[in-house]
């Protein structure tokens, strides 16, 4: 038994172990400010409209750097970009810690958005480092590494009880900064997985090369299998409507369904527990049965979850939380595994950069659309649209998404 487990997880060393260690630190840091972020920005003088604009500005900043990030990851290599931007992000979070008004928060969001240029490189180096036959398990472990984020709201809550809002958030952002700086130095031990096409470039040259980066990230779709494009086209609308609804679950459950906020917190805890319990089995399922069936099932679980949500029953809300967790476990292991299967190593940075660009850009637009639909049309509207798109995604996945004939390795 022990020997079998050792064989199953033999790939969790080197780059994989280093990246998982990084995520344990940064996922905790990522969610630490979330509990009181909106209150902090409002306390610094922002209206709710400005708050939405700040969040959207961050999304758009992230979006436009992903194309350059994918281009740089394939042209200059992965490691240097990953390390440098993690350290830069740690420094950028200090702007939040010492913010005098909401303008500093806007500046901080843009600076943090700029540092996400390394996201395609992070995704590419992880895909390069996991054996093709273990990718489902690998991506499930990458999610499980984020289990430390379960403790983030508790840590924030205890700080709030001790220091109140403003000082709590200043302390939190100093902790966040320290976590990202530590992760940056940890990543120095990464091993490069792709021989750079050329030596490092200057900032001025990088800016001049941005149009070329955009062109390369668009043209790369001519070089990858058609099935990769089909996967992208089928699931992009799904990710759009999911992001559209995320900010409004709390409002809907507490204000429309009149669920006590503490009960809503219990639902979120249940969702987290179920997610981490099923993550490893989901990853193994993806490796054994293939990627397509889990993707199909993820849309089924998400659609069933939305039905449970809008039928207004406390019991069904607990079912909603469990179904959402299972859907997340399946899609967040099967989708990146199939994406890596279908993409040759030398194109992964650009494919992931373009995917991140559309995800971030459309995600920012989705939040704006969701707010309009929720406030101006009706609270049920965003969730009804999400359910419709999820139902449509099921036959589209069956018809157009294909398993890789051979899984691309490094």
Mean pLDDT by 10 residues, the chain (410 residues): 64 84 90 79 79 75 77 79 92 95 92 87 84 79 81 81 88 96 92 70 58 73 83 90 80 81 73 85 88 94 94 86 93 88 80 79 81 84 94 94 71
Backbone dihedral angles phi then psi of residue 77, each to the nearest 5 degrees: 95, 170
Output the CA–CA distances (angstroms, integers) from residue 353 to 94, 121, 331, in the order listed: 27, 8, 19
The pLDDT value recorded for residue 287 is 86
**82 part of a folded domain:** yes
What is the Cα–Cα distance from 182 to 18, expressed in whole angstroms?
Answer: 12
The pLDDT value recorded for residue 385 is 95
What is the Cα–Cα distance from 56 to 68, expressed in whole angstroms?
Answer: 20
Question: Which position has the token pair 């809002």?
Answer: 165
**405 part of a folded domain:** no
The pLDDT value recorded for residue 148 is 85
**6 part of a folded domain:** no
**3 part of a folded domain:** no
**4 part of a folded domain:** no
Q: How many domains does the chain have?
A: 1
What is the Cα–Cα distance from 231 to 292, expressed in whole angstroms?
Answer: 10
**388 part of a folded domain:** yes
CATH classification at residue 382: 1.20.1250.20
The pLDDT value recorded for residue 167 is 92
DSSP type of residue 100 = S
**228 part of a folded domain:** yes
Q: Which domain holds residue 208?
A: 12-400
Residue (of 70, 72, 78, 87) closest to 15 by Cα position: 78
Contact (CB, 8 A) for 231 and 401: yes
Contact (CB, 8 A) for 89 and 113: no
**80 part of a folded domain:** yes
The pLDDT value recorded for residue 4 is 60
What is the Cα–Cα distance from 340 to 379, expressed in whole angstroms?
Answer: 38
Q: What is the DSSP string of 176-235?
A: HHHHHHHHHHHGGG----S--SS----HHHHHHTHHHHHHHHHHGGGTS-HHHHHHHHHH
Contact (CB, 8 A) for 27 and 145: yes
Cβ neighbour number for residue 250 with a 10 Å cutoff: 14
CA dihedral for 384, 362, 33, 123, sign (positive or negative): positive
């Amino acid at each position: 038994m022990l020997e079998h487990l050792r064989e199953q997880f033999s790939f969790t060393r080197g780059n994989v172990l280093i990246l998982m260690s990084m995520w344990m630190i940064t996922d905790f840091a990522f969610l630490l400010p979330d509990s009181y972020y909106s209150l902090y920005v409002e306390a610094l003088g922002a209206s709710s409209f400005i708050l939405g604009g700040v969040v959207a500005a961050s999304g758009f900043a992230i979006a436009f750097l992903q194309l350059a990030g994918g281009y740089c990851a394939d042209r200059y290599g992965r490691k240097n970009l990953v390390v440098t931007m993690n350290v830069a992000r740690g420094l950028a979070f200090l702007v939040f810690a010492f913010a005098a008004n909401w303008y500093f928060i806007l500046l901080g969001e843009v600076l943090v958005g700029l540092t996400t240029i390394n996201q395609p490189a992070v995704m590419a180096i992880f895909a390069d480092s996991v054996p093709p036959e273990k990718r489902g398990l690998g991506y499930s472990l990458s999610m499980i590494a984020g289990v430390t984020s379960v403790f983030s709201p508790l840590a924030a809550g205890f700080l709030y009880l001790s220091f109140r809002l403003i000082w709590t958030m200043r302390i939190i952002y100093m902790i966040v900064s320290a976590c990202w700086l530590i992760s940056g130095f940890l990543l120095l031990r990464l091993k490069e997985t792709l021989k750079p096409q050329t030596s490092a470039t200057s900032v001025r040259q990088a800016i001049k090369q941005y149009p070329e980066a955009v062109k390369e990230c668009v043209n790369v779709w001519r070089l990858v299998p058609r099935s990769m494009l089909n996967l992208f086209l089928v699931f992009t609308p799904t990710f759009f409507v999911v992001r559209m609804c995320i900010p409004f679950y709390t409002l809907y459950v507490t204000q429309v369904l009149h669920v006590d906020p503490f009960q809503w917190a219990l639902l979120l805890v249940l969702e987290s527990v179920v997610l981490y319990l099923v993550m490893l089995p989901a990853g193994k399922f993806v490796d054994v049965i293939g990627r397509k069936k889990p993707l199909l099932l993820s849309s089924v679980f998400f659609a069933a979850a939305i039905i449970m949500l809008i039928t207004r029953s406390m019991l069904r809300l607990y079912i909603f939380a469990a179904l959402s967790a299972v859907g997340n476990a399946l899609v967040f292991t099967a989708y990146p595994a199939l994406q890596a299967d279908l993409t040759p190593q030398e194109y992964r940075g650009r494919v992931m950069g373009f995917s991140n660009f559309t995800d971030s850009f459309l995600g920012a637009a989705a939040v704006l659309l969701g707010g309009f639909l929720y406030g101006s049309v009706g609270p049920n509207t965003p969730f009804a649209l999400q359910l419709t798109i999820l139902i449509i995604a099921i036959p589209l996945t069956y018809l157009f998404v294909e398993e890789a004939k051979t899984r691309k390795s490094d």
